[in-house]
Amino acid sequence: MAVKNVNVLLAGGGIMSSTLGVLLRQLDPLLTITMVEKLDDVAEESTSGWNNAGTGHAAYCELNYTPETADGGIDASKAFAINESFERTLQFWSYLIHQQALPEPTSFINATPHLSFVWGEKNVSFLRKRFAAIGEHHMFAGMEYSEDPAVLREWMPLVMDGRDPAQPVAGTRVKHGTDVNFGSLSRSMVGYLQNSDNFDLLLKHSIHGLEKQSDGKWRVSVRESGSFASKHIIADFVFLGAGGAALQLLQASGIAESVGYGGFPVSGQWLVCKKPEIVSQHLAKVYGKASIGAPPMSVPHLDTRIIDGEKALLFGPFAGFTTKFLKRGSFMDLFASIRPANLWPMLKVGMSSFDLIRYLITEVMQSHADRMNALREYFPNAKDEDWTLATAGQRVQIIKKDPQKGGKLEFGTEVISAADGSLAALLGASPGASVTVTAMLQVLEKCFPEKMASAEWKAKLKEMIPSYGRSLTNDAELLKQIRQDTLSTLGLIDTGETMQAPEAAVV
């Protein structure tokens, strides 16, 4: 029985669906939107504050975004793309604050300096080159570099105390880095949608089937927890924002574009410290270098977290392996996703990812003492009894066909959409929530091309994201104006403080 007809059905209540919902609500207040979430609240999977690292990825501190090239140079293209993408996200959040569509910014975002920290001659030389490659660009204005242990101690005392004074060390710092509680943000966005007309939230409802009707609409089968009876929602457009489970729903849709995609689940764990006397000594996200063979998202970092008013330190992530696609998923998830069309790409990835498999086995075998030793590389005086292990969210990395290798494993995010624009899915997990706005703009561009070209939507987009369609990487003046507004609106600098001139500071 058809429950209802809607214009937009959002599968899942994480940061992706909630952002798309708010973007669409702003662009067209008359659209009827239904969000279907299988858990008893939204933002309880990867988007939950405790399930991810909460780094507003802007490429200030993540060394994997500036890999070394074969000739010893630095490839900074990814760093610029991610920084620009995060600027779009910040603009959208600022707009929502101005509209009073979100509560005070501290409920979801807090200024937390972003630092990179390395030791050993080779790594120091890498960081020096990295700073030379990006530090003077206006996108990275304000980035400081130092090899002086006294300066580094001021920036991150816990990291420097107890360290061998003869060890060569180097760090960079960007003061306007951020810690983001994507869970709180997502709940606020859904709250905003619930206060608007034409929006419906179905909690404890799971989508288990999608069928394309002859009229081009989607017939989506939904089941309430504990019930065997299916309800049906007829939707003009469906967005699969189901996190790790988006792959399964994409496969269920049967669209041609889904063929050949597979998923590789990687789970994560953190060491957590909530002792106020330790937590109060660290205000930063300190990112190091990933070990050889480790996937890019496993770069170790020691982070200040502020989650729902509670301060903590997190160190990790430590990778793990499970066959679940969601933290609260089923052990059958991986097996159920295997299809004749993705079997070969999955096997090829399995056969060629020795470094990754070795890395995962080593990580899984670690004891608390091993994990504490890894922590002590960043916090030499850390004591075992102050830290406990917590389970993070689940990431499902994308496996896809590759004409040369047969199959490849990707660590980014990808929007897959039906040719007629009636359905889109978000696969992958990194850089994840920080690039939500860019990813959801891609969904709109792919699935609503005519509306996106209309004068009405164009004007609204410009209002919400002033840099939309323009390059912040190439326009220093535009970036300066926009950043001044976003940082002050979001409380990331004192309103009296002005951003530094484009030249970067060297300490």
Ligand X SMILES: Cc1cc2nc3c(=O)[nH]c(=O)nc-3n(C[C@H](O)[C@H](O)[C@H](O)COP(=O)(O)OP(=O)(O)OC[C@H]3O[C@@H](n4cnc5c(N)ncnc54)[C@H](O)[C@@H]3O)c2cc1C
State which of residues 182, 218, 318, 411 lies at the interface with ligand X (CB under 6 A): 182
- The crossing angle, in degrees rounded to 10, of helices 455-464 and 15-27 is 130
- The smaller minimum CB distance to ligand X, of residues 49 and 146, is found at 49
> Is the Cβ of residue 431 or residue 480 nearer to ligand X in the bound state?
431
Minimum gap (Å) between residue 480 Cβ and ligand X: 24
If the CB atoms of residues 13 and 135 are measured against ligand X, the closer one turns out to be: 13
Binding segment for ligand X (CB under 6 A), chosen from 104-112, 235-243, 397-405, 445-453, is 235-243
Report strand pairing: 388-402 vs 310-320. Answer: unpaired
**Site size toward ligand X, by CB under 6 A:** 42
Minimal distance, residue 88 CB to ligand X, in Å:
13
- Is residue 47 near ligand X by the rule CB under 6 A? yes
Among 20, 21, 23, 57, binds ligand X (CB under 6 A): 57
Position among 26, 46, 85, 337 found at the interface with ligand X (CB under 6 A)? 46
Question: What residues from 327 to 366 belong to the interface with ligand X (CB under 6 A)?
Answer: none
Half-sphere exposure (CA, 13 Å, Cβ side) for 495? 2
Position 114 contacts ligand X (CB under 6 A): no
Shortest Å, Cβ 308 to ligand X: 16
Q: Which of residues 269-288 bind ligand X (CB under 6 A)?
A: none
- What is the x/- site pattern for ligand X, positions 188-207, by CB under 6 A? ------------------xx
Binding mask 419-458 for ligand X (x = CB under 6 A): -------x--x-xxxx------------------------
CB of 89: closest distance to ligand X in angstroms?
A: 9
CB 179 within 8 A of CB 50: no
**SS3 letters for 165-229?**
CCCCEEEEEECCCEEECHHHHHHHHHHHHHCCCCEEEECCEEEEEEEECCCCCEEEEEEECCCCC
268 binds ligand X (CB under 6 A): yes
**Hey, CA dihedral for 296, 364, 356, 424, is it positive or negative?**
negative
Cβ proximity to ligand X, 51 vs 422, nearer residue: 51
Query: Quick check: 36 binds ligand X (CB under 6 A)?
Result: yes
Residue 319, interface with ligand X (CB under 6 A)? no
User: What is the per-residue DSSP string for 120-179?
Assistant: SHHHHHHHHHHHHHHTTSGGGTT-EEE--HHHHHHH-HHHHTT--TTS-EEEEEETT-EE
Residue 37 binds to ligand X (criterion: CB under 6 A): yes
Could you give the string, one character per residue 67-106, with x where binding to ligand X holds by CB under 6 A and - elsewhere?
Answer: ----------------------------------------
As measured in angstroms, the least distance from the Cβ of 162 to ligand X is 27
What's the CA gap between 249 and 205, in Å, rounded?
14
Distance CA 310, CA 305 (A): 8
Identify which of residues 251 and 394 has a Cβ nearer to ligand X in the complex: 394
Q: Which long-range contacts (CB under 8 A, 24 or more apart) does 127-130 make?
A: 127/63, 127/170, 127/171, 127/172, 128/170, 129/68, 129/72, 129/73, 129/74, 130/63, 130/66, 130/74, 130/76, 130/172
| 52 is a contact residue toward ligand X (CB under 6 A) | yes
Between helix 436-447 and helix 77-98 the angle, nearest 10°, is: 90
Question: What 3-state class would DSSP assign to 353?
Answer: coil
- Tokens describing residue 90: 């910040």
Residues 325/245, Cβ–Cβ less than 8 Å: yes
Q: Do 197 and 178 meet the contact criterion of CB atoms below 8 Å apart?
A: no
* Window of 38-46, 90-98, 116-124, 164-172 that interacts with ligand X by CB under 6 A: 38-46
- Whole-Å CA distances, 28 to 4, 21, 452: 20, 10, 11
Residue from 8, 11, 111, 349 touching ligand X (CB under 6 A): that is 11
Beta carbon nearer to ligand X, 46 or 422: 46
AA letter at 3: V
The 376-415 site mask, x for binding ligand X (CB under 6 A), equals ----------------xxxx--------------------
Burial class (CB in 10 A: 0-12, 13-18, 19+), 40: exposed
Amino acid letter at 403?
P
* Residue pointed to by tokens 């952002």: 19
User: Residue numbers of the site for ligand X (CB under 6 A)?
Assistant: 11-17, 36-39, 44-47, 51-55, 57, 182, 206-207, 241-243, 245, 249, 268, 317, 326, 392-395, 426, 429, 431-434
